[in-house]
Amino acid sequence: MRDEFSGERLPDIPNAGYATRREREASDAIMFLMRGLERNREWLLRVVCEGREKWRKTTRAIWRGLLPDTELHQIIDDMYAHLVLQAGPNPMEQLEIVSQMAGMTAAQKSTWMDYAKPQNYTRCPHCNRDWLTVPCCETHRHVANQFLGIKAAHA
């Protein structure tokens, strides 16, 4: 049975192997960095937008001596390719949007889920008192009665 979505999945995270202690340490360092970037979209997009050369320079400086240079260079390039796949199309545009969202207030970040929350229609919009237990004010009593399906006594 062929998996029709196999071409759409990301490949496995690059690793340095697990045969020796040094390889395990390098693979763990790679995994922690990749997972951290995966969880922080803005960082991921910044890495991709800044380019492969800056990525190479920075990661090689940090991980110098962790692995032999030839292996390290290949793994760093594989990691960057993986990050590009995670970023998806138009990373510059995405970064601009994510950066704008970071500066937004909580009220501005509200989504459709905020609007889907049940509203408390048992409170008077004028004085915020509970209509069901205590009549709040004469001016809003008719609204409460309409909501509850009670006909006005004077009607």
Closest CA to 34 of 69, 96, 78, 94: 78
Q: Name the token pair of 96.
A: 């601009």
Quote the CA–CA distance of 11 and 6 in Å, as a whole number.
10
pTM for this structure? 0.62
Angle at 55 between CA 32 and CA 97, to 5 degrees: 85
Q: Are 77 and 52 in contact (CB under 8 A)?
A: yes
Q: Are 141 and 148 in contact (CB under 8 A)?
A: no
**Residues 56-75: pLDDT tens digits?**
998 888 888 888 888 889 99
Indicate if the pLDDT at residue 37 is higher than 50.
yes
Residue 77, pLDDT score: 95
**Residues 116-138: pLDDT tens digits?**
344 444 555 566 665 555 555 55
**Residues 83-115: pLDDT tens digits?**
999 999 999 999 998 888 777 666 555 554 444
